[in-house]
């Protein structure tokens, strides 16, 4: 069994519903009976997106997964497609985005799969929710924990706005 972290983001349509649906799909492929960790949802400014892109809702989940990292990448892309994601241009607004952050202690550098995610340690919108669920985690190739990476982050990203749990009723205006 491997613990794998995935970042979820949405900035089109009913963003909260898209995150909830993605979480349901990830729970369906997780090892039954094992904990699924879900961070709070944060509202974040678009990062590396075209001007005028809507704000994102972001969270991180960690699941126990029995397959390979490649299998999980394929599953996450299939979930995106099922939930209506179309891949057009890089960093375009999207109703759902699922990024594989880590897969246990696996380290790989392939054209379409790099683990741990190469920009994870540079992005507050990933580090903050990950620190909420796994502050002590030290990723392969890193010497600092997620909490330490977050504390040492030098970023121009605006502060994140913590909204709620991914499973909580809505308390904001999309």
pLDDT in tens, the chain (174 residues): 899 999 999 999 999 999 999 999 999 999 999 999 999 999 988 877 777 888 999 999 999 999 999 999 999 999 999 998 877 666 667 899 999 999 999 999 999 999 999 999 999 999 999 999 999 999 999 999 999 999 999 988 888 899 876 665 444 333
Q: What is the 3-state secondary structure (H, E, C) of 117-139?
A: CCCHHHCHHHHHHHHHHCCCCCC
Is position 11 within any domain? yes
Is position 171 within any domain? no
Is position 170 within any domain? no
Is position 174 within any domain? no
Check residue 166 and give its pLDDT.
62
Is position 10 within any domain? yes
Q: 128: domain range?
A: 2-165
Check residue 169 and give its pLDDT.
45
Is position 41 within any domain? yes
Check residue 157 and give its pLDDT.
84
Is position 172 within any domain? no
**Residues 19/163, Cβ–Cβ less than 8 Å:** no
Question: In this structure, what CATH number is given to the domain that contains residue 18?
Answer: 3.30.70.560
Check residue 52 and give its pLDDT.
81
Q: How many domains does the chain have?
A: 1
Which helix (H) or strand (E) covers residue 79, if one does? helix 69-82
**Nearest in space to 2 (alpha carbons), one of 63, 52, 44, 49:** 63
Is position 25 within any domain? yes
Q: Which residues, other chains included, contact 132 with Cβ-Cβ below 8 Å and sequence gap of 6+? A: 39, 40, 60
Prior bond to 144 cis, omega within 30?
A: no
**Residues 162/125, Cβ–Cβ less than 8 Å:** no
Instruction: Report the distance separating Cα 34 and Cα 61, nearest Å.
Output: 13
């Amino acid at each position: 069994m491997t613990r794998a972290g995935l970042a979820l983001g949405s900035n089109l349509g009913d963003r909260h519903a898209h995150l909830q649906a993605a979480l349901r799909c990830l729970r369906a492929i997780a090892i039954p009976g094992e904990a699924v960790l879900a961070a709070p949802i944060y509202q974040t400014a678009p990062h590396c997106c075209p001007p005028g892109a809507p704000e994102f809702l972001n969270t991180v989940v960690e699941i126990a997964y029995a397959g390979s990292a490649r299998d999980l990448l394929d599953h996450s892309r299939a979930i995106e497609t099922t939930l209506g994601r179309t891949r057009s241009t890089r960093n375009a607004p999207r109703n759902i985005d699922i990024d594989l952050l880590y897969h246990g202690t696996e380290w790989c550098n392939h054209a379409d799969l790099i683990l741990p995610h190469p920009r994870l340690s540079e992005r507050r919108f990933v580090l903050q929710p990950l620190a909420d669920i796994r502050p002590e985690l030290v990723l392969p190739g890193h010497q600092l924990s997620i909490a330490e990476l977050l504390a040492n982050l030098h970023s121009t990203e605006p502060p994140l706005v913590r909204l709620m749990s991914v499973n909580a009723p809505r308390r904001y205006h999309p």
